[in-house]
Amino acid sequence: MTQNILVLVRHGESEWNRLNLFTGWRDPDLTDKGVAEAKRAGQLLKAEGFKFDIAFTSVLKRAQRTLSLMLAELGQTGLETVRDQALNERDYGELSGLNKDDARRKWGDEQVLIWRRSFDVPPPGGESLKSTAARTLPYYDRVIWPQVKAGRTVIVAAHGNSLRSMIMQLEGLTPQQIIEVELHTGAPIIYRLDNAGGVAEKRALIG
């Protein structure tokens, strides 16, 4: 397997994804569909011949369980795993736990869209994508990238917005470009990075 490999995976569907609720730092588990997505992600990686040297995930159970299910499929249940809240989902503040339709009725379609799709406007009491990146990227630079640069094959199971932060830096995307990026649940994205941390190759595994 080529060196400098980084695999990013958004967690499988959670109970609150299914209910159309803002989740953030709240901690729902995976749905049956989410479990199946995580297992399928592991099967796709196994079919590609992946063996990981270290794993990273957030402190939230939907990401941790996704990782565990993938590693079980890979036969790597004992893999060294680092959990850190720097990889948590964006904190949605007062929106957390609210149905997205109810939030639109309370604050208006336009305002909720701004909170969801702007780069630097946070919801009340919460984080913008910019402020999410402000905690995720220093962690990536300090902790994750050195592992990749050392030639270890690394997997990160995390969340839509913490992963967007990393993808923005890796791919050199603008704030406008990154907010348009959709990440499918349970779909591994494989990066081969050059020695400066730039993307030499990218591909997605879709089951």
Residues 6+ apart with CB under 8 A from 74: 42, 45, 46, 50, 51, 52
Residues 6+ apart with CB under 8 A from 135: 86
Pair of tokens at residue 181:
């990026």
Q: Is 11 designated active site?
A: yes
Catalytic residue selected from 13, 37, 73, 89: 89
Q: How many residues does the chain have?
A: 207
The sheet carrying 189-193 orders its strands as 81-83, 54-57, 154-158, 5-10, 189-193, 199-204
Q: How far is 122 from 144, CA to CA, in rounded Å?
A: 26
Catalytic residue selected from 11, 37, 127, 159: 11
CA 84 vs CA 48, 64, 66, 104: distances in Å: 28, 11, 15, 32
Task: Give the pairing of strands 81-83 and 54-57.
Answer: parallel
Q: Is 89 designated active site?
A: yes
Q: Active-site positions? A: 11, 89
